[in-house]
Every structure is written in C-alpha cells, then in structure tokens.
Structure 1
Amino acid sequence: MEVEGKTKYAEEAFDFDDGRQQKPELDDDGRPKRRGTLLTASAHIITAVIGSGVLSLAWAIAQLGWVVGPAVLVAFSLITWFCSSLLADCYRSPDPVHGKRNYTYGEAVRANLGSVKYRLCALAQYVNLVGVTVGYTITTAISMGAVKRSNCFHRNGHNAACDESNTINMIIFAAIQILLSQLPNFHKLWWLSIVAAVMSVTYSSIGLGLSIAKIAEGGNVRTSLTGVTIGIDVSASEKVWRTFQSLGNIAFAYSYSNVLIEIQDTLRSSPPENQVMKKASFIGVSTTTLFYMLCGILGYAAFGNHAPGNFLTGFGFYDPFWLIDIGNICIAIHLIGAYQVFCQPIYQFFEGWIRNRWPNNTFFTKEHVVSLPVVGDFPFSLFRLIWRTLYVILTALVASIFPFFNDFLGLIGALSFWPLTVYFPVQMYMAQAKIRKFSVTWTWLNILSSACLVVSIVAACGSIQGLVHDVGNYRPFRV
C-alpha cells in the first residue's frame, strides 16, 4: 500500500504535457504535504473533546460536592494531558522525530507493542465505538423528546403531565441513520466536523448561559462540600454507587485519545509533530477543562444536590422554552452526524473482513450503480444495505432496553478510559523509550496505570449497578 501510494504521488509530481517535473509537494511518506499547525490541532482537540459528555457534568459534581468534584475534573484533565503527551511521541516509531509514521492509533500500538496488543487495542476501540453509537442513540432520543416536552410545558404549565416516548424518537433516529449509513464515502463529507463543532459549542454555551441566569434569579438551592447528602438525598449505598458512576461520566467527557494520532497526522513536519502535538494537547485540554469547570460548577450552583442527569433535558430549566428547544435541536443535529463518524470504522472493518474472507462471493463484493434524482449515480450494495441496517436496528434495540443517559455514558467512559487513554499510551512510551524495568520511571508509570485501572473498574461497577437498578423499574418499548 505504501509503495503504491508513493508511486501515485510521484506520478502526480510530473507535468506529462511537457515532461518537466513540477515542484514536489510531498511529505517524507509520499503523501501530500500536511498543512496542520498548532492552531488547527488545538481546534481539532477541542472539537473532539467537547461533546455530549458536558451535559452530565453538573450531575457528576452534585454527587461529589464542591471539594472532590472540581478536584476530580482537574485530575482527569492532568492524566489525559500527560498520557496524550506520551502518545504524541508514538506517532513515529521507533524514533519519535524521524521514525516511520503511524497513521492511526491501532498502527501505533502494532508498531510499538506487537500484534497481540494491537488485537486487544482493536477490541477496546470497537467496543468503545459500539457503546458510543448506542449512547448517542439514547442522548438524541432524549433531546428530541425534550423539545416536545418543553413546548408542552409552555402551553400547559410546569406541572402538566408531558410524557414523551423515547421509543418513537429512537425509531425516527434509527430511520435517519439507516439512510445515512448507505453512503459509502460518508467520511469525505468534510463539513460534518464543522457542523458538529458549531452544534456542540452552541448547546454547551446555552446550558452555561441558562445556569448563570438561574443563579442570578436566586432561590433555595441546597449544595454541600460533599455533594448529595446521605439520609436526605440518597441512602449510604446510593451515595457510593453514584460517586463511582460520576467518575465514569467525567471520564467519558475527556475521551479523545482514539483520534489523537489521526489529528497529529494532519500536522506539518517542521517543527517536529510530537512537539507541536504536546503543545496542542495542553491548549486543548486546558481550554476544555476551563469550559467543563464552568459548566459543572455553575450547573451545580444552579440546581444544587438535585441537579438533573442531563441539564438540558432534565427540566431544571423551563424558560425561555425556545432557547431550550434550540439547545436540544443542536444536540440532535450534532449526534446524528457524530453517530456516523463513530460507526463508519465499524462498517469498514467488518466489510473489509467479510470481503477478505469470501473474495469470490459476489453478494459481498459486487456493487450496482443506481441513478437517483438529485443524488445522481449512487453505488448500491445489497450486502451493505442489509448489514448496516441490522447494525443500526441493533443499537436502537439496546438503547430502547437501556435508555439511561448517565448510566450508559458512565459505562462507556469507564470501559474506554483506562485502556485507550492510559494503558496503551503508557506501554507504548515505555517500549519506545526502552524504560528499564523496576526503574523509578517504570515504577511510577505503572502505579499511574494501575490506579487508573481501579478508577475504571469502580466507575464501571457504579454504572452497571445503576443500569440494573433502573432496568428493574422500566418497561422497554413503551410507545
């Protein structure tokens, strides 16, 4: 693949009309010259990090309180930044400045840790991707329902019974995703990232502004140094489980390691990519942390110990209803596109594996060109239609059975935080830098990794307990 790519780009460097060689605009790997800078990389990181995870931060701070809550946010940001710095050195291997480029997170793991660790990394990545698509289905359905409820409250008063069915909203969302999933080159829709970035910043800013307005109004809001109070708000066991679950919610808010190598691959070669990426990670993570602190702390100050799990759909805010509607519409638009960003790697992996396994089976390999109005010639595959439709239906079914925002986000954050944010970056760095076993650096890096493993385990336990508890009181597929 690499040789073919170099040949292709080398041919494009010639002007075949007069035989003269044009000025080559290629990088050391034969690919078109990368133009990314510190500014663009920082913007990509902020876009990748700020997302639906911000919606649960007020609830997470409410479980932990004024002291532990902000401290945990800072701790996660420091760990994420530090491990991102280690990962930045693994973009090239074996040398972080002059080595061979690794274009994806998985390639970096394979180059530094071998094929066995690569398979484990791939498993963690795909489990995370599937979990995120289910989580986005839940979040979008809740936001779609919140728009209807907001208008119902506006018409009938805040005490009206304005229940909405998440099942119907999930069916609508799944129908949209089935259509979008048939696009074979969805990744080429470059404007998707711009739309997602604008939407995520918009709804986060709306939530922040509404929190400030609610604080300014005053009112009897009860907060405490330790968060929700045992015996008043929750029982002792609920306090423990909610504390664990809140760690998963915060971990989910900081997950972006999956795309760090891909972001680094956009940077120009000089100055060295790892140096620029470390600065970009610092700018991106610190900017995001400031934004998260504002949303989490002001959200807690606005709602107190009764902060809703999602501060735009939990109806601590009722007015202005049109602004709440805009916020939730932005969430839906963002996640409709983001779902495709996360499911496309799953589609490509499975379809590639199937075609390699049965290369002579025309059902798997053959495509038909269909002429459609407006769209024009469209490549159609019956296999792609069936399997991608089944995947979307499966994620919608799981979301319908477990439509619990905080629990599911906490579980996704717990499952992805330790392996993808901490373990593999630490292991790759130690392998590349040839850190001697039982040295001071080796010891404390392993202590950090082990501590983060414990955090992921307790966060997963808290989220699973929450799911089990909520499922016991829930009737799925209620229309």
Structure 2
Amino acid sequence: MSFTYSNSVLNFRAINRSNCFHKNGHHEGCHTLNNSYLLIFALIEIVLSQIPNFHKLSLISIVATIMSFTYATIGIALSIAKIAEGGHQRTSLTGIPVGKDMPSAEKMWNTFSAIGDIAFAYSFCPVLLEIQDTLRSSPPENKVMKRASTVGVSASTLFYMICGTLGYAAFGNDAPGNYLTGFGFYEPFWLIDFGNLCIVIHLLGAYQVFIQPFFAFVENWSKEKWPQNKFITQEHSLGKVKINIFRLTWRSVYVVLATLVAMIFPFFNSFLGLIGATTFWPLTVYFPIEMYISQAKIQKNSFTWIWMKVLSLACLIVSLVAAAGSIRGLVVSVESFKLFQSMS
C-alpha cells in the first residue's frame, strides 16, 4: 500500500506549500523533506489498523466516501474558476505534442504508464467480495451488490471524468498528475488546503479498506497453524476494547515496514501505474471471466466464449504495456533520487 503513502505526501506538502506561498509570496521555494509527513500518516494508520476486522469499517468507509466527493467537487470548482480566468492553455486531443520538449519515445512510455494509472482505478474489484460478505441475506447479496456497484461506479466515473476533462482544460499540457497538488491555484489557499486534507482523510480510510482483508487472511492462517499459541489466539479485555497482542504487534510492524518502503521509493505515479498493471488483468479480468464461464456453463468456442477470451487477451496486452511503461518510469526516477531525501 505504498501508493497511499506517496499520494498522502503529495497532499500534505501541497497544504504546506500553499500556506508558505500565501505567507511569504510565490518567489519562495517552500521546499521541505517529505519524511515527516510519512511518519504522521504512518502513526495514524498504526492506530486505525487496530480495528479488528473489515466489518467494523463502516464509519471509516462513509467518511472516506464523503471526503472523495468533497475534494472532487472542490477540484471541479477550482478548474471552472481557472478556465473562467482566461488565458487559454495549450490542449490537444493527443496531449503534449511530440517535439523538442517531448521526444516520441518519451511520449510513448508516458502513455504506457498512464494506461497503468487508469487500470489502477479498477483495483477496488477484489474488495467487492469482502463488502458482499458484510451484507444481510435478505434481499439477496448479489442483487444488492449489483445495484450498489452500478450506482457507485457510475457516480465515481461521472465525477472523475469531469475532474479529468476540466483539469486538462484548466492546466493544458502542464496538468500535474494530481491536480489538487498543482500550484496553478494559489488562492483561495484555504480551499486548496481543505481539498488536500480531504484527500488525506480519504486515503487513511482507503488504506484500511484495502489492507483489512490481508490482515484477516494472515491472522486466520496463523490461528489455524498454531491454534494452541496464546500469543496468537488470546484476546485481552481493556474496558470495552478487545486487544490481541499478535494483532497489535504484527499490524504495527507491517505499517512500519510499508512506511520504510514509501520513504525509500517515493515515486507515486510510476508505482501507481505498476500496481495497477500487475493487478488489473489477473484480479479484475482473468479470474472473474473464468469464474463466470464456469458458473454459467458457457460452451467452448461459442460466440460468448470467444469474445470473452478476446476481451481477456486484450486486457492482458494492456497490462503488459502499462507495466513496461511504469517500470521504465521507475528506472528513470531511481537515477536521480537520494535515499530518504525526498523533497517537496
């Protein structure tokens, strides 16, 4: 989950720099080390990681959802304000034109990496099974999940497509990877701060939604492996709170290790693309398609079987291309970074 750390740092430092620019003027560099922001994020996650299981995340999930729509709305409003100021930004259907500042090979690799970023948007799919497991059996879980997925994906797609198109219209070919952390908007600084804070809160919740199934897997496996080990199985009461020493220890260690990885490799966009590329095809495309073919007993070489196989192959090619672009981006970034010295 290093990508959540990297993205949270982008937003923490955006808050710091917008305040610095507001106070000292835009001529100031306002640069600072990112490690302090990573430590703040990690400390909060250590506390949140003690939530015992996925079923207890409803409040955090609701807050994260509200934050998501809040910062998207702020981004849309700021984009409209930027566009209304005039001064047309350079835009084109194919993005930055190939030329002196953008060689064709560089644009190709950036495009591949961007495909990985898009694929990463589908990383929520494996969590759907965990969500469905928390639902009551009446009405049927599959019908509830189908309706919830349709509404959720449609709303998210609408908001983020608007953010993407208006953001590009506002910034043009200079649009940053995360446009709320771009500094085309210096005022109103407090609104930018609030938007970036909403993203941080969203990421705090998103981290838990994605990592809790992994926590549960490790802990259930450990209990089955060593059922007589009291360190692993025994629950201690502290008022109304139940504390398991193994859960407390291993989850805290995991967060610490993830924080160290984020400090060592502070390459947000390339990591995001690589994670998206490597998880998109197997988890979002291949296994669901194969399960559907088996469950629905679709006849081999039938029209439906063929086009689903073609879809799977096309998505595999997308994943491979995106992975290649992201790996190349990581290699380029590694050449210029200093260990534990990531600066904003």
TM value normalised by structure 1? 0.67
**How many Å separate the matches in 1 of 2:86 and 2:38?**
37
Matches within 5 A, 1:17-56: none
Cα distance in structure 1, aligned partners of 2:145 and 2:221: 33
Q: Does 1:205 align with 2:73?
A: yes
Distance 1:232 1:203, change over 3 A: farther
CA contact (8 A) 1:151 1:321 kept: yes
Checking the alignment, whether the CA contact within 8 Å between 1:208 and 1:299 is kept in structure 2 is yes
- How far off its partner does 1:476 sit? 2.7
Q: Which has the larger radius of gyration?
A: 1
**Deviations 1:13-64 (CA, angstroms, capped at 9, x unpaired):** xxxxxxxxxxxxxxxxxxxxxxxxxxxxxxxxxxxxxxxxxxxxxxxxxxxx
Note closer, same or farther for the CA distance 1:281–1:377 as it changes in structure 2 (3 Å cut).
closer
Q: Equivalent residue of 1:158, what SS?
A: coil
Contact kept, 8 Å, 2:53 with 2:212, in 1: the verdict is: no
Aligned residue number for residue 289 of structure 1: 157
CA contact (8 A) 1:187 1:341 kept: no
Secondary structure of the structure 2 residue equivalent to 1:318: coil
**In structure 2, do the counterparts of structure 1 residues 341 and 229 end up closer, same or farther at CA, with 3 Å as the change threshold?**
same
Residue 190 (structure 1) aligns with: 58
Matched, 1:398 2:266: no
**2:97 maps to 1:229:** yes
Aligned pairs (5 A) from 1:235-250: 235-250=103-118
| Number of the residue aligned with 2:302 | 439
Counterpart of 2:229 in structure 1 is: 361
The answer for the alignment partner of 1:414 in structure 2 is: 277
Deviation track 1:419-467 (CA, whole Å, cap 9, x = no partner) reads 2221112111111121122222211110110000100111111111111
Residue 177 (1) aligns with residue 45 (2): yes
Letter in 2 for 1:158: H
In structure 2, stretches of 5+ residues that fail to align are none
CA distance in 2, matches of 1:297, 1:326: 22
* Contact 2:114–2:322 (CA under 8 A) maintained in structure 1: yes
- How far has the Cα of 1:303 moved from its partner? 0.6
Task: Say whether 1:298 aligns with 2:166.
Answer: yes
> Aligned equivalents of 1:364 and 1:267: distance in 2?
30
Map 1:372-391 → 2, pairs under 5 A: 376-391=239-254
Quote the residue 2:198 is aligned against.
330
Query: Is the aligned partner of 1:456 residue 2:319?
Result: yes
Q: Which residue matches 1:100?
A: none
Q: Relative to structure 1, is the Cα distance of residues 320 and 176 closer, same or farther in structure 2, using a 3 angstrom cutoff?
A: same
| CA-to-aligned-CA distance 1:171-205 (integer Å, 9 cap, x gap) | 11111212222333574242112111110100111
Stretches of structure 1 lacking an aligned partner (at least 5 in a row): 1-132, 371-375
Count of residues in Structure 1 that have an aligned counterpart in Structure 2:
341
The alpha carbon displacement at 1:261 in A equals: 3.8
Question: Using the alignment, how far apart are the partners of 1:438 and 1:357 within structure 2?
Answer: 43
Give per-residue Cα distances to partners, 1:106-149, cap 9 Å, x unaligned.
xxxxxxxxxxxxxxxxxxxxxxxxxxx21111111221121111
What letter matches 1:471 in structure 2? V
User: Aligned in 2, Cα 1:290/1:185: closer, same or farther, shift over 3 Å?
Assistant: closer
> Structure 1: which amino acid aligns with 2:311?
L
Task: Give the C-alpha shift of residue 411 in structure 1.
Answer: 1.6
Report the counterpart of residue 163 of structure 1 in structure 2.
31
Taking only the aligned residue pairs, the percentage that are identical comes to 60
Q: Secondary structure of the residue that 1:150 maps to in structure 2?
A: helix
RMSD (Å) for aligned C-alpha atoms = 2.1
From 327, 332, 335, the counterpart of 1:469: 332
The alpha-carbon deviation at position 276 of structure 1 amounts to 6.1
Q: Judge conservation of contact 2:2–2:259 (CA < 8 Å) in 1.
A: yes
Q: Secondary structure at the match of 1:312?
A: helix
Secondary structure of the equivalent of 2:96? coil
Q: Does residue 121 of structure 2 align to residue 258 of structure 1?
A: no
TM-score scaled by length of structure 2: 0.92
Which deviates more from structure 2 when the two are superposed, residues 242-251 or residues 158-167? 158-167
Distance 1:353 1:154 in 2: 52
**Residues 263/439 of structure 1: CA separation in 2 closer, same or farther (3 Å cut):** same
Q: Report SS of the residue matched to 2:237.
A: strand
| 8 Å contact from structure 2 (residues 45, 204) kept in 1 | yes
